[in-house]
Amino acid sequence: MDTIRMGIIGFGNMGTGHCKNIFDGKIPGMVLGGICDILEERREAARAAYPGVPVYASAAEFYESGSVDAVEIAVPHYDHPSLAIDAFAHGIHVLVEKPAGVYTKQVLEMNEAAQKSGLVFGIMYNQRTNPVYQKIRQLVQSGELGHIKRINWTITNWYRPQAYHDSGTWRSTWKTEGGGTLINQNPHQLDLWQWMFGMPSRIMSHVSFGKYYNIEVEDDVTAYMEYDNGTTGVYITSTGEAPGTNRLEIACDMGQLIVENNKIVFYRNVVSEREFNKKNNLVFGQPESWRCEIPVSQDGGEQHVGIFKDFARALQTGSPLLAPGVEGVNGLTISNAIHYSAWTGGWADVKNFPHEEFYELLQERIKASKVVKKEAHVLAGTENTYNNK
Q: Mind listing the pLDDT tens digit for each residue in 131-189?
A: 999 999 999 999 999 999 999 999 999 999 999 999 888 889 999 999 999 999 999 99
Neighbours of 333 (CB within 10 A): 26
Q: What is the mean pLDDT of residues 203-214?
A: 97
Is the whole model's pTM more than 0.75, yes or no?
yes
Q: Where in the chain is the domain with CATH 3.40.50.720?
A: 4-125+302-324
Reported as a pLDDT band with limits 50, 70 and 90, residue 374 is very low
Reported as a pLDDT band with limits 50, 70 and 90, residue 111 is very high
Mind listing the pLDDT tens digit for each residue in 19-74?
A: 999 999 999 999 999 999 999 999 999 999 999 999 999 999 999 999 999 999 99
Q: Taking a C-beta distance cutoff of 8 angstroms, is the pair 167, 173 a contact?
A: no
The C-alpha angle with vertex 137 and arms to 192 and 197, in degrees rounded to 5, equals 60
How confident is the model at residue 377, as a pLDDT?
30
Q: Where in the chain is the domain with CATH 3.30.360.10?
A: 128-160+181-211+220-301+331-362
What is the 8-class DSSP label of residue 320? P
Q: Which amino acid is at 108?
A: L
Phi, psi (deg, nearest 5) at residue 137: -60, -40
What is the 8-class DSSP label of residue 155? E
- Torsion sign over Cα 52, 57, 59, 65: negative
How confident is the model at residue 115, as a pLDDT?
98
DSSP string, 157-190: -----HHHHTT-TTTT-TTTT--STTTTTSHHHH
Distance, in Å, from the CA atom of 13 to the CA atom of 34, rounded to the nearest integer, reads 17
CATH class name, domain 4-125+302-324: alpha beta
Distance, in Å, from the CA atom of 358 to the CA atom of 121, rounded to the nearest integer, reads 25
Q: Which of 22, 37, 34 is nearest to 389 (CA)?
A: 37
Mind listing the pLDDT tens digit for each residue in 288-343?
A: 999 999 999 999 999 999 999 999 999 999 999 999 999 999 999 999 999 999 99
Phi, psi (deg, nearest 5) at residue 265: -110, 125
Give whole-number Cα distances, 278 to 275, 288, 290, 332, in Å.
5, 15, 20, 40
How confident is the model at residue 382, as a pLDDT?
29
How confident is the model at residue 168, as a pLDDT?
82
What is the 8-class DSSP label of residue 324? B
Protein fold of 128-160+181-211+220-301+331-362: Dihydrodipicolinate Reductase; domain 2 (3.30.360)
Percent of the chain with pLDDT over 90: 92
